[in-house]
Amino acid sequence: MESAPQKREMFYEGKAKKLYTTSDPDLVIQYFKDDATAFNAKKRGTIEDKGVMNNRMSELFFTLLERAGVRTHFVRRLDDREMLCKRLDIVPVETVVRNIVAGSMAKRLGRQEGESLKQPVVEYYYKSDPLDDPLIYPEHAIEFGWATASEIEQIKSLALRVNQVLKRFLDERGVLLVDFKLEFGRHKGEILLGDEICPDTCRFWDKQTRQKLDKDRFRRDLGGVEEAYHEMLRRVES
């Protein structure tokens, strides 16, 4: 296997990951932490081996998406907690795709959690911790220079393609893809999917029982958090 570029200094630490520069300016190393946060880091904890499981799940999902024609920042997994990625200039707009009403959508619109949507709903949030990531219109992103109209169009199209691919894959494994958050960035003039895809960033429910297999177990003090992550890893790797 081709040797990895040399790891240099950490330049970013988020709630769940650290990013390191490498000897190649186009590549970074993404390190997955066990730290768990909810409600914009107002609730904090640790989920044992979460970083290891999220790294493996993200590798699997990114590989699946690349095969389906979705370009991502993923290069390869280096070890239990690190993956090599293309360096992105992150678009400060989080994209959420919803298939079933849950979480903030249920609260915001007074809808019953678990209500199926006739078609996927795409939402955008301004990536800002001090503002608690407010819901925005695409026009806000264009007006304030966070993304161009063309980039927003690409992001929506890619997000819906990701939804199509992941929904089919998970359905075959007895899992409902309720909703999920994506982050995109620019790399050499191209919009690529970045961040991670795992139970931290997605809502996964068992298809039969609707049991939650994601970070909602931590958010809502439901217990069985580690077990839910292990079960998701088992299903996607089967």
In which band, very low, low, confident or very high, does the pLDDT at 43 lie, cut at 50, 70 and 90? confident
Q: How many whole angstroms separate alpha carbon 8 and alpha carbon 2?
A: 18
For the segment 74-96, what is each residue's pLDDT rounded down to a tens digit?
999 999 999 999 999 999 999 99
* Residue of 94, 72, 85 whose CA lies nearest to 21: 85
Residue boundaries of the structural domains of the chain: 7-89, 90-224
- Kindly state the DSSP code that residue 129 receives in the 8-state scheme: G
CATH among 3.40.228.10, 3.30.565.10, 3.30.470.20, 3.40.50.720 for 90-224: 3.30.470.20
In which band, very low, low, confident or very high, does the pLDDT at 1 lie, cut at 50, 70 and 90? low
- The residue-averaged pLDDT of 146-175 equals 98
- The residue-averaged pLDDT of 1-16 equals 88
For the segment 97-125, what is each residue's pLDDT rounded down to a tens digit?
999 999 999 999 999 999 999 999 999 99
Does residue 164 surpass a pLDDT of 90?
Answer: yes
The architecture (CATH level 2) of 7-89 comes to 2-Layer Sandwich (3.30)
Does residue 3 surpass a pLDDT of 80?
Answer: no
Q: How many whole angstroms separate alpha carbon 212 and alpha carbon 221?
A: 12
The average confidence (pLDDT) of the chain is 96
- The residue-averaged pLDDT of 29-51 equals 91
- The residue-averaged pLDDT of 206-223 equals 97
In which band, very low, low, confident or very high, does the pLDDT at 2 lie, cut at 50, 70 and 90? low
Does residue 41 surpass a pLDDT of 80?
Answer: no
Q: How many whole angstroms separate alpha carbon 49 and alpha carbon 47?
A: 6
Give the C-alpha distances (Å, rounded to integers) separating 30 from 13, 74, 83.
10, 10, 5
Tokens of 186: 């620019």
Q: How far apart are the first and last CA of the chain?
A: 25
Is residue 199 within 8 A of residue 32, CB to CB? The reply is: no
pTM of the model: 0.96
Q: Which pLDDT score, from 0 to 100, does residue 42 have?
A: 80
Does residue 167 surpass a pLDDT of 80?
Answer: yes
Same fold, 7-89 and 90-224: no
In which band, very low, low, confident or very high, does the pLDDT at 38 lie, cut at 50, 70 and 90? confident
What is the percent of the chain where pLDDT is above 70? Answer: 99
Neighbouring C-alpha atoms within 13 Å toward the C-beta of 202: 26
What is the percent of the chain where pLDDT is above 90? Answer: 95
SS3 71: coil
Does residue 4 surpass a pLDDT of 80?
Answer: no
- Kindly state the DSSP code that residue 3 receives in the 8-state scheme: P
79 DSSP β-pair partners: none
